[in-house]
Amino acid sequence: DVVMTQSPLSLPVTLGQPASISCRSSQSLVHSDGNTYLNWFQQRPGQSPRRLIYKVSTRDSGVPDRFSGSGSGTDFTLKISRVEAEDLGVYYCMQGSQPKYTFGQGTKLEIK
Amino acid sequence: QVQLVQSGAEVTRPGASVRISCKASGYTFTDYFIYWVRQAPGQGLEWMGFINPSGGSTTYAQNFQGRVAMTMDTSTRTVFMELSSLTSEDTAIYYCARGLRSTTCYWGQGTLVTVSS
């Protein structure tokens, strides 16, 4: 199975400041169809997960443009340009390029 | 609107099995895979597998191979996930989801399964 490794696992942030989360895969996530199925999910406390970004950089409907995704191959990044209070929670990357999907360990975004 | 509604919380014993349902509505049932993801208390998300409602084929994560079965009933637009040989480590919230990979993503509300003697 593809192993997804996120860093950091805990990210203290100041509101209004940027934040960045890294996700690395144990093998290339380029699918045979040419797409790279690397997604980012947000989970606020007590809520079901919500997908923010799919295929590396496409924001889901309703996701604020302060969230952006980038990367290729095995290295990917989620960036928040200016953290707001509602952004606090845990963020997960997930690969869907192999038949058996896998999630990263999660990164907890919290107030500094 | 698209909805995935899961069955209620379960309390069960070690060694037993549990079966959770996920009823889909608001879209063509056979057009989208249904995935199962679980989350143990205070832990991260764990992908369990999926079922293709168009034909019923399944793919399971290695960690659950031999212990999980995902089935469906197209007449009621319901997908089932059964997990057997339960231990306390299977205590978790179990989610069904649609469109994890690239189409519009929807999640069920989650089902808490507690395994306790």
B1 reaches A (C-beta below 8 A): no
Q: For A93, which residue in chain B has the nearest alpha carbon?
A: B45
A37 and B102: CB-CB below 8 Å?
Answer: yes
**Cβ neighbours of A29 in B, within 8 Å:** none
Residue B69: per-residue pLDDT = 98
Q: How large is the average pLDDT for residues A71-90?
A: 97
pLDDT at A111 over 90: no
Contact A20, A8 (CB under 8 A): no
**Cβ neighbours of B107 in A, within 8 Å:** 48-50
pLDDT digits (tens, 9 = 90+) for A49-70: 999 999 999 999 999 999 999 9
pLDDT at A112 over 90: no
Q: Band of the pLDDT at A15, cuts 50, 70, 90?
A: very high
B44 reaches A (C-beta below 8 A): yes
Residue A40: per-residue pLDDT = 98
What is the DSSP annotation of A31-81?
Answer: -TTS-B-EEEEEE-TTS--EEEEETTTEEPTT--TTEEEEEETTEEEEEES
pLDDT digits (tens, 9 = 90+) for B67-115: 999 999 999 999 999 999 999 999 999 999 999 999 899 999 999 999 9
Tracing tokens 């990917």 back to the chain, one arrives at: A76
* Cα A60 → chain centroid: 12
With a pLDDT cut of 70, the percent of chain A lying above it is 100
pLDDT at A94 over 90: yes
B102 and A96: CB-CB below 8 Å?
Answer: yes
Contact A102, B48 (CB under 8 A): no
Tracing tokens 């199925």 back to the chain, one arrives at: A37
Looking at CA atoms only, how far is residue B37 from chain A in angstroms?
A: 10
B36 reaches A (C-beta below 8 A): no
pLDDT digits (tens, 9 = 90+) for B33-80: 999 999 999 999 999 999 999 999 999 999 999 999 999 999 999 999
Looking at CA atoms only, how far is residue A100 from chain B in angstroms?
A: 6
Question: Exposure pattern of B4-32 as b/e (b: 16+ CB <10 Å)?
Answer: bebbeebebeeeeebebbbbbeebebeeb
Q: Band of the pLDDT at B15, cuts 50, 70, 90?
A: very high
